[in-house]
A and B are shown apart, each in its own frame.
Chain A
């Protein structure tokens, strides 16, 4: 190893430290908040490691009634909205990329651009008229507004960089466009699908504005439920941080799994040359 590469290594690790520390410090602080009693949480100078650990913050959150219901609601809403978005969004991204049909992409973009708040009242009235309120259907449908455009946009970007030669060769060999899509384009686009999937899940999972109006007592998703719990009627930073961590945990776990997939997809260099 020469001096230059050693310096390069040091520089790299310094850069890594700078880039990663805001996230690490924030979540450690959040963890610290979630494990402290109120008296420590509002102390100055701040207490980083409490003498007494307040496990009760977590117990309180988990013991709040219907926690399991809300968790399942979240799974159903986010899961359905993401699955539906991938089903229609991946082919759409492919089609738009191949046709260079940026005009149709703009139609889809409109969904993404529309201020979420302006969906709320019209859709609330529509779902009430359809008698769907009180079920999870309204939320699944309105979450499509969030997930579909993301999936399409990410997929356009990916398919635009995938090589055409393989597909052309397959078409000349007599394959149909659907076969080409299924067996040539789709496998190459796996990393893109992973990114699209993750983003769709995050946006859907974290969304709370829609749920506040559309969700009733039985159909509330976890973030909305937790937001209700963390309302401003007490200086309850401990339970707040605990709740935030609990809500975030499923998504973080998902990321850890999907992370491998992304990394594998990216390092395999699926889109080399061309």
Chain B
């Protein structure tokens, strides 16, 4: 159980007050990174917030307009639609890679011939440049000439419209996203699996536990911190996903796959409506913070339950 305890040093500290001296003394380790991050983040953020309070358009003198850019958002049907698309896209693009990535990690945790090589192949999708990958997928999605419909026809499934129909465009994009980012989840979970002590497995083997039981009651709890990190990274990346959607659909057909980030891009760089775009960026940021907070909250709850269960 000590492994779980250590994953939450806060809890460990409460249990052992004599370790209190750790707390202030590790700041020097963190300060350089903090300085770097603050230096690159603070300026753009102040500037973005400032711009979001202005009417800032090309060829027009910049004027202070207060919160009117934010008010405009509430009545912008395109923005509201984009929020919906983003949430659906993100939910699918977190859950599918998490599930498949865990499965893949369990498989790659086994010993078999050519494991290193196959693992290398498996993580290739996340190595490749998203824009180029996206364009190759576009060709594969082509309803008439695409290789995907050809493969479907081989097994008797009728041709699909993939990214060319409003109803299937988001699932199709999620397919690409999942294909690309399942390896990231796999890598992180694999790190977790390697960190697991062998003793519980040995005793489980003696007790004759099934593969599924071992996974559910030993492996899964132990890799939870890793799944959480993977899920958090995945969520942030999926919400902000840009390259793939931009390269494949540019938010289309119509605006069926226009997420907040794509709309933000259009407003800021195609319409040059910098003030409004900045307001979208701020709201977008707050949305991601909200999602992250929900995930952190859920994790804390789970940890707390586990600790309680362990006591």
Contact = CB atoms under 8 A, between A and B. Distances in A.
Direct contact of A and B (CB under 8 A): yes
Interface of A: 12-13, 15-16, 19-20, 22-24, 26-27, 29-30, 33, 41-46, 84, 87-89, 91-92, 94-102, 104, 107-119, 121-123, 125-126, 141-142, 144-145, 148-150, 152-154, 156-158, 160-161, 163-164, 177, 181, 191-192, 195, 198-199, 202, 205-206, 208-209, 223, 226-227, 230, 237, 240-241, 243-244, 247-248, 251-252, 255-256, 259-260, 262-263, 265-267, 269-274
Interface string B184-202: 1001101111110111000
Contacts of A230: 131-132, 135
Interface of B: 2-3, 6-10, 12-13, 22-23, 25-30, 32-34, 36-38, 40-41, 43-45, 47-48, 51, 100, 103-104, 107, 110, 112, 115-116, 118-133, 135-136, 139-140, 144-145, 147, 150, 179, 183-184, 187-188, 190-195, 197-199, 225-226, 229, 232-233, 236, 240, 242-243, 261, 264-265, 268-269, 274, 278, 281, 284-285, 288-289, 292
Contacts of B107: 12, 15-16, 19
A54 to B, nearest CB: 15
B263 to A, nearest CB: 11
Contact of B33 (A112, A152, A269): A152
B44 A118 contact: yes
B41 A114 contact: yes
Contacts of B243: 206, 208-209
A135 to B, nearest CB: 17
Contacts of B274: 121
B33 A206 contact: no
B229 A255 contact: no
B202 to A, nearest CB: 12
A266 B34 contact: no
Given A117-B265, A223-B132, A251-B127, 4 more contacts: A26-B125, A29-B140, A202-B126, A269-B198
Contacts of A177: 25-26, 29
A117 B264 contact: yes
A21 to B, nearest CB: 10
A274 B3 contact: yes
A144 B40 contact: yes
Lowest 8 CB-CB distances: which A-B pairs, in order?
A95-B29, A244-B132, A92-B33, A122-B47, A266-B194, A118-B281, A95-B26, A95-B30
B37 A95 contact: no
Contact of B229 (A110, A122, A153): A153
Given A95-B28, A161-B6, A45 B37 contact: no
